[in-house]
Amino acid sequence: MPMGKRYAVFGTPISHSQSPRIHAAFARQTGIELDYVSIEAGHDDFAAKLAASGAQGANVTLPLKEDAFALCRETSERARRAGAVNTLIRDGDGWRGDNTDGLGLVRDLTERHGLDLRERRVLLLGAGGAARGVAPALLDAGISALFVVNRTPERADALADAMGEPGRVHARGWDALPALGEFDLLVNATSATRGGALPPLPMALAGLRSAAVDLSYGEAAVAFLAWARAAGCTHAMDGLGMLVEQAAESFLLWHGVRPETDPVYAALNGQGDALVTAD
């Protein structure tokens, strides 16, 4: 495959990633030839593996989104607001960085699931790269308040400060959860559930009109979504729709065309035709 058509997703763990299937489907849909692979990388070897990949563009997942931000010579406004990058675009011998996570989440919640985020009270669990990616877009969607809760309160404080809206964004430690009351939307952006363990969450955080979304998908989202259903949430969604939507935005940045996302999401969700047909 020519060098200009190589793309990749970096992270750890990465073997579960659906991104190669998604971009293969987008490529077939749009008639664009490309090679998209997953590459395992951590903090210590990410920069070296990115340089050796020969990729013209890359997606970045846990735990490397803040590392990717630091590597860029130029970043978009939404990446700067987040302090995290999930999409890299080759720029000569360097990289430009963007963040499509937040737009992907909001599009999935509002357009696919029909949620109205305006004037909603939102709980964001976690303060790492995933949380940083979605916080600005949630605020732009018109939510009334965002509570950022993290086991390390200093990380929550840093994210809240970065948003620059002290009247709408509030940082708390995990031990404050029982006193926070009920939320309209609960977003799990922690990586804790990737090991199958869900940190204790009070049932009082959710009500009969609450919605819950885990930014992970598959097995990693099972524990949080089970809690959300037990707590009475009307909607309990994993991050598969967000993944497809943010991938479409990355594809647009690389290739200048935004593919259709509904058939790809349906196929991944077992509700449509196979993503990649045999040649």
Ligand-binding site membership of 256 (annotated)? no
Catalytic site residue from 6, 23, 65, 120? 65
Ligand-binding site membership of 151 (annotated)? yes
Ligand-binding site membership of 150 (annotated)? yes
C-alpha–C-alpha distance, residues 262 and 111, integer Å: 10
C-alpha–C-alpha distance, residues 77 and 75, integer Å: 7
Radius of gyration in angstroms for the set of CA atoms belonging to the chain, rounded to a whole number: 18
DSSP annotation of 56 reads S
Q: Is 256 left (phi over 0), alpha (psi -120 to 50) or beta?
A: left
Ligand-binding site membership of 66 (annotated)? no
C-alpha–C-alpha distance, residues 78 and 13, integer Å: 26
DSSP annotation of 251 reads H
Instruction: Please say if 65 is a catalytic residue.
Output: yes
> Token pair of 121, please?
């009270």
Ligand-binding site membership of 277 (annotated)? no
Ligand-binding site membership of 153 (annotated)? yes
* Side-chain-side CA neighbours of residue 51 (13 Å): 8
Helix axes 129-140, 153-163, angle to 10 degrees: 40
Ligand-binding site membership of 261 (annotated)? no
Cis peptide before 13 (omega within 30 of 0): yes
* Strands ordered across the beta sheet of 145-150: 169-173, 145-150, 121-125, 185-188, 211-214, 235-237
Ligand-binding site membership of 104 (annotated)? no
Ligand-binding site membership of 188 (annotated)? no
Ligand-binding site membership of 19 (annotated)? yes
Ligand-binding site membership of 11 (annotated)? no
Helix axes 19-30, 240-255, angle to 10 degrees: 50
Ligand-binding site membership of 61 (annotated)? yes
**Of 142, 241, 149, residue with least CA distance to 187:** 149
Ligand-binding site membership of 17 (annotated)? yes
DSSP annotation of 9 reads E
> Token pair of 248, please?
């479409």
Ligand-binding site membership of 99 (annotated)? no
Q: Show binding-site residues for NADP(+).
A: 77, 126-130, 150-155, 215, 239
The catalytic residues are 65
Q: Show binding-site residues for shikimate.
A: 17-19, 61, 86, 101, 217, 246
Q: Show binding-site residues.
A: 17-19, 61, 77, 86, 101, 126-130, 150-155, 215, 217, 239, 246
